[in-house]
Structure 1
Amino acid sequence: MVLQVQKSTYEAKTQEIAKQLLAATRENRSFFASLRDQMRWDDKLLAWAMGNPGLRVQLFRFIDCLPALRSKSEIAAHLKEYLGDESVELPAALKGILNFANPDSMPGQVAATTVATAVETLAHKYIAGENIKQVIKTVERLRKEKMAFTIDLLGEAVITEAEAQSYLNRYLELVSQLAAEAKTWTPIAAIDQANGEDIPQVQVSVKLTAFYSQFDPLDAQGSQERVSDRIRILLRHGQKLGAAVHFDMEQYAYKDITLSILKQLLMEEEFRSRTDVGITIQAYLRDSQQDLRDLIAWAKQRGYPLTVRLVKGAYWDQETIKAAQKDWSQPVYNNKAETDANFEALTQLLLENHEYLYSAIGSHNVRSQAHAISIAETLNIPRRRFEMQVLYGMGDKLAKALVDRGYRVRVYCPYGELLPGMAYLIRRLLENTANSSFLRQSLEERPIEELLAPPVVKDAEKLVKEIPASPRPRVSASSFFNAADTDYAEIEARERSQQAFQQVRKQLGKTYLPLINGEYQPTQENIDSLNPSNYTEVIGQVGLISVEQAEQAVQAAKAAFPMWQRTPVRQRAGVLRKAADLMEQRRAELASWIVLEVGKPVREADAEVSEAIDFCRYYAAEMERLEPGYNYDLPGEINRYYYQPRGVAVVISPWNFPLAIATGMTVAALVAGNCTLLKPAETSTVIAAKLTEILVEAGIPKGVFQFVPGKGSKVGAYLVKHPDVHLIAFTGSQAVGCRIYADAAIVQAKQKHLKRVIAEMGGKNAIIVDESADLDQAVVGVVQSAFGYSGQKCSAASRVIVLEPIYENFLRRLVEATRSLNLGETELPSTQVGPVIDATARDRIREYIEQGKAEAQVELELPAPDTGYFIGPAIFSEVPPNATIAQEEIFGPVVAVIRVKDFQEAIAVANNTNFALTGGIYSRTPSHIQLAQEQFEVGNLYINRTTTGAIVARQPFGGSKLSGIGSKAGGPDYLLQFLEPRTVTENIQRQGFAPIEGAD
């Protein structure tokens, strides 16, 4: 049942005030009449975006790209690409200016000038200035209109420590210049004083994440220490010059840590009595009511009030998309009415606690502001304790109406260059043109009763009690749901991780034996598995099987095969699902083992556990889908096409994804009905032993699965050549994979079948960055792709192919972003780059680095600790495409940056290797994206995102050329490789008659 939020004692007054405010905002001619009369291009762009959803998307995508375009010809070309699509219906005026054949022609230049000027004009409506001088003129004009201000500095994303320091320095300079100007300002009682108290004339708004380039909730303590040091400098500077500082709220992932840092900092003796500080609460968040209640309790304890800026929130689309992609619950309300209702509830809670928290009501919704005023007037709240806020360029008439009623209005004024400010402009345009926007509805002159009606929600009672977040909506017909990674923004998740490390450390040094025919077997040879972050620490001792034991394992598997082959698919799938459930229960523990045994950072280890879980559940469902086979019946004849297992499978798994890949290959073989031997890499045998424990607990029958750690050169080779082995699934180096392929092709004595080889053999993966790319996104993506897990992923980017116009700028930021990474033990939450797997790998990578020095220019070579197998990230520039470091797989944190003249050359360079696994492109040019889709020779192509992190059932993974043989892991045809098809035909005629379906 649909209910209205219960009418409060403030409703009648809210309606009265809202009608007065709305009337004041409608004194001038209507918006659309104004458009028709003025015919300004910037206004027309907005009007078209409101009226045509398809055009709106393409237009905003073009605007997002515009600042990266350096010439009128490029602008004209992109206009054609974005708006020339026949599927987009264009207004006649826009169609007219796009009627040019050549971007270099005079009509093309005119079109570029017209649209670029219109967008720049549009941007200046929402951005208060491109430099401090312009901003000062803006705020002086606002003061003449009796409006206060707060200044927000727009800029590039802070992805380097140099940029974080620059962010602080620019704010220090901004405060200094504004404070100096303020000395010349005539005091304005309406905004500079209230209830006999002076109010700071200067206020700035800042974002915590910009104070530290590696800001991360997982590293809560480290982030707090680095951020707090810089905030203290700003707060002291502000206090010295009489300037207030307000802290903005950003994405949901940073909300809890932001509140935690500010609460702790503002309880310090030096800052505890400061009342010129503010914090933001976003009403679209489901847990915002609890956050506000916690803030009230904290403020009571602090003893001095500060300001809470209440806003509805600016990242709704981003939050919903991220939650859907991560399989997390939605943190935001699903519709605007719920947010509006929550905003009113928060407004009341805030104002009714005005002695502890001052209120800054940030909204362009007349009803929202009227509701706040009705409460303030009813409770006779002192004017010092509340104010109204609007964004620069939005709600100007509402702001004036509020000033005319005698209220303090503060205008949020972003400033900066248009290039870094474009993301802000897009958010404002989205807000202005959204169907649910109050501003749009008001401009369309909707009925007053409709505009000012209380927000309607489905269940008002649940809204107040915080509706539990909903799971992500399905985006396809598939019923498969991926396992959700751990959200380390939650303190409980971080605590579980720390507890898991403590429990795992109590188990270090234990012995793990092979499992053969259902029994753990003693061995003659043992090896120590070491922590690559600290090679003096033994993770476990592992027994290595002999050739004789390998033979026993094969025979046990061969003996168990007939029974397992006949086991119903549903039962086999049930074992996999039970294993997945056990992994989910032991998630934090398994992640800890991965961190300690192979040196993978915590967040990446957790994602690997998710992938292992996904493989179990996905392949279980896939085998159930395949199991019925196909019917091709005709009258008088039955035709059945179905699948049967091959026999004995040998899985040879790598160390770099010791749980996920070992699990994926193993359970694929098992659920298909094959008896399976798992031989893991020697450096990751403890994790494979943990997988063995899980499979045994899940109910895998005796002899069906064998855990056979051993020397690859001896035991691995023996198993590959064994005549009773039917298929080999391998992930590892090209050299070993090719040898397995060759050995498996030889038919041994008494062998009655041809062996099937499934092999994934790495890559020399490239990311192309063109001149239209979003460099913030591209630099971060390259850093993550190249240096995540120290470059030890087969999908890692080791070549970056950059177009000449942006080469120097990209390289500079890439170097600084990499220099800002934290290198250390992967158990530490602050670590982004850990060790490589062992001394052999470390020494081989060092040799490649020395080779690179002879072939190219060293841009960066970070020092590394000597307590483990560490290699500092290395970046080479001006690398020839045929150089050794541009051709051979290094499998370490080494990147070759290659300069090319145009996009066609970039594709040619990218394809010029023996590998074809993953590739990436950062571009906002539709034709370049299309060309990459057609010509970039890779198994997995990633556009405007990292090249690592493929997810089961979303990005099935695998390559071609010398990167692999077989279908993609985590895809709909992967299991077919572990099966053999069979056709059975039966003639059902007897003496000229046959059963007729449906006959009595």
Structure 2
Amino acid sequence: MVVQVGSAYELKTREIAQAILVQGARGERSFLGALRDQMRLDDKLMNWAMGNDSLRVQLFRFVDGLPSLRSKAEIARHLQEYLGEAEVPGLKGLLNFSKPDSPTGQIAATTVATAVETLARRYIAGDNIQQAIKSIERLRKERMAFTLDLLGEAVISEVEAESYLNRYLDLMAQLAQASKSWSRVPQIDEADGEPLPLVQVSVKLSAFYSQFDALDAASSAAKVSEKIRILLRRARELGTAVHFDMEQYAHKDLTLSTLKSVLLEDEFRTRTDVGLTLQGYLRDSQQDLEGLITWAKERGHPVTVRLVKGAYWDQETIKAYQNGWWQPVFNQKSSTDANYEALTRRLLENHEYLWAAIGSHNVRSLAVAIATAQELQIPKRRYELQMLYGMGDKFAKACVDMGQRVRIYCPYGELIPGMGYLIRRLLENTANNSFLRRSVEEGRPSEELLQPPVMEKTDGHGLQVVGFHGAANSDFSQAQPRQLAEQALAEVRARLAQTYNPWINGTAVTTADHLDSVNPSKPEEIVGRVGLASVEQAEAAVKAAKTAFTTWKQTSATQRADILRKAADLMEQRRQELAAWIVLEVGKPLREADADVSEAIDFCRFYGEEMERLQAPRSRNVPGETNEYHYQPRGVTLVIAPWNFPFAIPVGMCVAALAAGNTVVFKPAEQSSVIAAKFNEVLQAAGIPSGVFNFLPGIGEEIGPRLVKHPDVHLIVFTGSQKVGCQIYADAAVLQPGQKHLKRVIAEMGGKNAIIIDESADLDQAVVGVVQSAFGYAGQKCSACSRAIVLEPVYDAFVTRLVEATRSLNVGPADQAGTKVGPVIDAEAQARIQDYISKGRLEAEVVLEAPVPETGYFVKPTIFTGVKPDSMLAQEEIFGPVLAVIKASSFDEALQIANGTDYGLTGGLYSRTPSHIARARAEFEVGNLYINRGITGALVDRQPFGGFKLSGVGSKAGGPDYLLQFLEPRAITENTQRQGFALIEGADQ
């Protein structure tokens, strides 16, 4: 809908909006805003935040961590760490103390903590149901209805999901009981001669199931639907209305489809005391509304649609940017407002089928709804206005005085779980484009505030990405990628048990022996028969590579890069198929298999670009002399690859060598040789010349030593175990007869990776991050978390939630959509890990062994507590779904424990203490340190990957200096003088 500025409709909208502004300005403030007339510290905090963007970030970070701090000294210390550098007079005076535990520090801590708590009370209706009921009753005295939302910890286990449902059942019962004593308020308790429910609650669908995931849509919908039915049945008994909130974009389609399905069931089809939510900042919200209109007509009985702007704009924008996805939200606030007005109009036009709840604090948006309702003569029952508790209260009061039904969204609960909600409200209130800030704090003129919003012309594509642009993983919240993945799995299954032979000098060669590569989820299923190269064929591969090197090294970097870019394009075209092979051959769940393909694509493109950058000679000339520094390839490269990243790591190692002008003999892991053969197919299709790339599957113990010791091999690139890596390093150091070079070895050899969780950590994030890092791909990532080092104050709470979150993971075959933990790679690995678990029982306590399927190479996800820092469980790389939890008495001890192994690959820290974060940056001895996120999933260029100590030798894969290891530097100097003369540019002639 395009609004003409001079139209009657626009004039009516502005008239109503002006009335709300005037009424709000001169009217008495409600109880929620009355105290703001005095300039208290909590007001000063808000004013400081609005006056300085960097201070706002630091202040809100402090507020976010405040509830977890357990003493006044801790609060004072964090105050100084977060805000000590702020150049704000009033704030600087408050923080003028020498020691956190000094009397002045104690006063500062008490003062600020009280101010933040007071600030929270503006937006949170109470700590408990009793306080919430008192807030509700005060609202009702002001003729405002309510909907109550229970704040809580993120639901990360089935125990918590069950608790969430039960708390809502109890909440509805208590509210229904309390409502019996309420006097009726006609303006909010009845409409068009019919009574309205006195009680309404708002719930989050994803909180009903801890594994709620669009990739596993059918199972997620089934689990959640049963909880919805229980809730709606109890609500009907109590006469309570239920509204379903909308959360992150990834949950939107699954939320809508699930609710539509349940509400079409005979038992619930006639219910009109139910609502759902649409977010106006989403680009596809109009499409969703049209879908709801069609559905509601089919249903035959209306439900309420709460129309909001949306509360996760920053999160959705960042997530889309990081993943290279289409941006689901509008870039500009004005676009959201314009879309919201169009949605409002369309929703109200269909008031016979959908009742409207217009949720906004923007006076113009409210006025549009009122003007439209008046124009269309919509009955009172079919629409209402909604606002958030503590926000825009004077506008809410003005709308009430104009005769509108206004409902206040009231969250309640303890401060710690409510802190995320509080931060969202603070961000909303202090944003530069916030209507409340512009109207109340800045006093912008009404003409400016009430201008019709303008829709942007961008479509969500083409976000500017700085630096290397990585391939986007599949967005499985969307239906099409899920359908393509399912189709690919079926097609690949139809091509199982084919034979794949070595490829030497541009042709396939037959072998005497073969190996059956099997599906670890279902070992009786043969994925492919792999021809095993002999020692003689290994010799032939090295000879072919040596011969091809003569021509390949003369090929320009751009020509080599073009072949790799074509290979990347082919991988993208075959993405779903390649991911399916990964799922079936090595048991990696689909989402992780898809990411494996993305990383391989990135390596092809990144190393091609890097070599083009490095090919330009560096000149440092002086009069009479030219000096040139450039690189040349080394020679034949032996790549010995692992099975755990069966596509990404082999591709990365091989294409680095190829981009640099070296030729390759590629020996894949036996367990992932079919996927390796698919990589060979891609390179051949991309046009790699004969002999430049030689695919040599075989038994490592048979052909590996000969290849490592071969005098014509210049460079060895290995990823695997420490034992094998060290042997390769030793063998490569021995000068063989006829060898005229020293071999370079690049080796990544695993880790014993730790995540530290300190007392200020966000446990919602920490538990999820540790679980994903420890049990993703059954703990078979070299970057996986195998030690959680937890500070004593949060140890018990962390372990309790960790155990239940892990217990809730879906363990099963990798090709099942809901699987989070699949099998280990083979029977040997299964036996080895189970042996570790048996030995671990002698040193620590097993607090969890999650059940697993009976068939397949499965190992129970296992958690040990009471683990000693020097024990076998804490020191040896197990490479499976086994996590050791270690208690630390201080952060110093935690760092000491983390660094107390032979490895130095990855590590993590969950903390909201700036000094702890700074110390981890300086002292945590790992190649890749991750702060407040999981420690797996490194991305090319963003997080170049590799460690030190016994985790490996060499520069980081996917980094700016990785290719230098594949190159020999040369310096060439030429004397350009002849008989005492030389051309000197710029000299007088």
TM-score (norm 2): 0.98
Alignment partner of 1:473 out of 461, 464, 467: 464
CA distance in 2 between counterparts of 1:928 and 1:236 reads: 49
| Corresponding position of 2:70 | 70
Alignment partner of 2:634 out of 641, 646, 655: 646
Corresponding letter in the other structure for 1:68:
S
Corresponding letter in the other structure for 1:89:
E
User: Residues 441, 515 of structure 1: CA spacing in aligned structure 2 closer, same or farther, 3 A cutoff?
Assistant: same
Task: Say which SS state the counterpart of residue 530 (structure 1) adopts.
Answer: strand
Task: Say which SS state the counterpart of residue 959 (structure 2) adopts.
Answer: coil
CA distance in 1 between counterparts of 2:274 and 2:245 reads: 11
User: Residues 428, 301 of structure 1: CA spacing in aligned structure 2 closer, same or farther, 3 A cutoff?
Assistant: same
CA distance in 2 between counterparts of 1:105 and 1:983 reads: 63
Task: Say which SS state the counterpart of residue 767 (structure 1) adopts.
Answer: strand
User: Residues 998, 578 of structure 1: CA spacing in aligned structure 2 closer, same or farther, 3 A cutoff?
Assistant: farther
Task: Say which SS state the counterpart of residue 745 (structure 2) adopts.
Answer: strand
Q: CA deviation at 1:180?
A: 1.2
- Structure 1, residues 280-325: CA drift from partner, whole Å, max 9, x if none? 0100011111111111111111111110000000000001111111
Corresponding letter in the other structure for 1:775:
L
Q: CA deviation at 1:9?
A: 4.7
| Corresponding position of 2:41 | 41
| Corresponding position of 1:338 | 335
Q: CA deviation at 1:470?
A: 2.5
Matched, 1:456 2:454: yes
| Corresponding position of 1:564 | 552
Task: Say which SS state the counterpart of residue 638 (structure 1) adopts.
Answer: strand
Alignment partner of 1:306 out of 303, 306, 309: 303
| Corresponding position of 1:180 | 177
- Which segment is superposed worse, 558-567 or 450-459? 450-459
CA distance in 2 between counterparts of 1:274 and 1:6 reads: 41
| Corresponding position of 2:22 | 23
Map 1:359-438 → 2, pairs under 5 A: 359-438=356-435
Alignment partner of 1:158 out of 138, 155, 167: 155
CA distance in 2 between counterparts of 1:529 and 1:442 reads: 68
Q: Cα RMSD over matched residues? A: 1.5
User: Residues 247, 983 of structure 1: CA spacing in aligned structure 2 closer, same or farther, 3 A cutoff?
Assistant: same
Task: Say which SS state the counterpart of residue 184 (structure 1) adopts.
Answer: coil
CA distance in 2 between counterparts of 1:65 and 1:140 reads: 32
> Is the 1:55–1:89 Cα contact (8 Å) retained in structure 2?
no
| Corresponding position of 1:242 | 239
CA distance in 2 between counterparts of 1:35 and 1:192 reads: 29
Q: CA deviation at 1:238?
A: 0.4
User: Residues 458, 863 of structure 1: CA spacing in aligned structure 2 closer, same or farther, 3 A cutoff?
Assistant: closer
Matched, 1:274 2:271: yes
Task: Say which SS state the counterpart of residue 830 (structure 2) adopts.
Answer: helix
| Corresponding position of 2:444 | 446
CA distance in 2 between counterparts of 1:44 and 1:700 reads: 66
> Is the 2:215–2:817 Cα contact (8 Å) retained in structure 1?
yes
CA distance in 2 between counterparts of 1:657 and 1:716 reads: 20
| Corresponding position of 1:670 | 658
Corresponding letter in the other structure for 1:205:
S
Corresponding letter in the other structure for 1:360:
A
Matched, 1:762 2:750: yes
- Which segment is superposed worse, 709-718 or 857-866? 857-866
| Corresponding position of 2:704 | 716
Corresponding letter in the other structure for 1:967:
S
- Structure 1, residues 245-286: CA drift from partner, whole Å, max 9, x if none? 101000011111111111111111111111111110100011
Map 1:159-238 → 2, pairs under 5 A: 159-238=156-235
Task: Say which SS state the counterpart of residue 872 (structure 1) adopts.
Answer: coil
CA distance in 2 between counterparts of 1:385 and 1:869 reads: 58
Q: CA deviation at 1:330?
A: 1.1
CA distance in 1 between counterparts of 2:540 and 2:819 reads: 44
Matched, 1:358 2:379: no
Task: Say which SS state the counterpart of residue 833 (structure 1) adopts.
Answer: coil
Task: Say which SS state the counterpart of residue 782 (structure 1) adopts.
Answer: helix
Q: CA deviation at 1:457?
A: 3.7
Q: CA deviation at 1:458?
A: 4.5
CA distance in 1 between counterparts of 2:171 and 2:9 reads: 41
Task: Say which SS state the counterpart of residue 570 (structure 1) adopts.
Answer: helix
> Is the 1:591–1:605 Cα contact (8 Å) retained in structure 2?
yes
Alignment partner of 2:956 out of 968, 984, 990: 968
| Corresponding position of 2:828 | 840
For structure 1, the 5+ residue unaligned runs are 460-466
> Is the 1:860–1:875 Cα contact (8 Å) retained in structure 2?
yes
CA distance in 2 between counterparts of 1:446 and 1:519 reads: 75
> Is the 1:327–1:471 Cα contact (8 Å) retained in structure 2?
no
Matched, 1:734 2:700: no
- Structure 1, residues 845-870: CA drift from partner, whole Å, max 9, x if none? 01111111100111111122221000
User: Residues 489, 9 of structure 1: CA spacing in aligned structure 2 closer, same or farther, 3 A cutoff?
Assistant: farther
Q: CA deviation at 1:983?
A: 1.1
- Structure 1, residues 773-819: CA drift from partner, whole Å, max 9, x if none? 00000000000000000000000000010001110110110001000
CA distance in 1 between counterparts of 2:727 and 2:272 reads: 71
- Structure 1, residues 876-933: CA drift from partner, whole Å, max 9, x if none? 1110000001000000000000011110111111000000000000000000000001
Corresponding letter in the other structure for 1:173:
D
Matched, 1:584 2:572: yes
> Is the 1:5–1:456 Cα contact (8 Å) retained in structure 2?
no
Corresponding letter in the other structure for 2:231:
L
Alignment partner of 1:989 out of 952, 969, 977: 977
CA distance in 2 between counterparts of 1:791 and 1:306 reads: 46
Identity of aligned residues (%): 67
Q: CA deviation at 1:39?
A: 2.5
Task: Say which SS state the counterpart of residue 43 (structure 2) adopts.
Answer: helix
Q: CA deviation at 1:435?
A: 1.1
Q: CA deviation at 1:6?
A: 6.9
> Is the 2:36–2:43 Cα contact (8 Å) retained in structure 1?
no
User: Residues 921, 458 of structure 1: CA spacing in aligned structure 2 closer, same or farther, 3 A cutoff?
Assistant: closer
CA distance in 2 between counterparts of 1:684 and 1:6 reads: 65
> Is the 2:332–2:456 Cα contact (8 Å) retained in structure 1?
no
- Structure 1, residues 315-373: CA drift from partner, whole Å, max 9, x if none? 00001111111111211111111111111111101111111110000001111101100
| Corresponding position of 1:89 | 87
> Is the 1:533–1:599 Cα contact (8 Å) retained in structure 2?
yes
- Structure 1, residues 117-136: CA drift from partner, whole Å, max 9, x if none? 01101111110111111111
Corresponding letter in the other structure for 2:937:
G
Task: Say which SS state the counterpart of residue 854 (structure 1) adopts.
Answer: coil
Q: CA deviation at 1:995?
A: 2.7
> Is the 2:850–2:861 Cα contact (8 Å) retained in structure 1?
yes
| Corresponding position of 1:462 | none
| Corresponding position of 2:809 | 821
Q: CA deviation at 1:198?
A: 1.8
Alignment partner of 1:538 out of 513, 522, 526: 526
- Structure 1, residues 380-413: CA drift from partner, whole Å, max 9, x if none? 1000000000000111111111111111110000
Q: CA deviation at 1:187?
A: 1.9
TM-score (norm 1): 0.97
Matched, 1:614 2:614: no
CA distance in 2 between counterparts of 1:29 and 1:276 reads: 33
CA distance in 2 between counterparts of 1:615 and 1:29 reads: 64
In the TM superposition, structure 1's runs of 4+ consecutive aligned residues that sit over 4 Å from their partners are 3-9, 28-31, 33-37
| Corresponding position of 1:464 | none
Corresponding letter in the other structure for 1:14:
T
CA distance in 2 between counterparts of 1:428 and 1:301 reads: 37
Alignment partner of 2:109 out of 94, 109, 112: 112
CA distance in 1 between counterparts of 2:617 and 2:158 reads: 58
Task: Say which SS state the counterpart of residue 566 (structure 1) adopts.
Answer: coil
- Structure 1, residues 561-611: CA drift from partner, whole Å, max 9, x if none? 111111111111011000000000000110000000000010000001000
> Is the 2:471–2:599 Cα contact (8 Å) retained in structure 1?
yes
User: Residues 431, 924 of structure 1: CA spacing in aligned structure 2 closer, same or farther, 3 A cutoff?
Assistant: same
- Structure 1, residues 189-246: CA drift from partner, whole Å, max 9, x if none? 1111111222111110000110000000100001001000111000000011111110
Matched, 1:501 2:499: no
Map 1:130-149 → 2, pairs under 5 A: 130-149=127-146
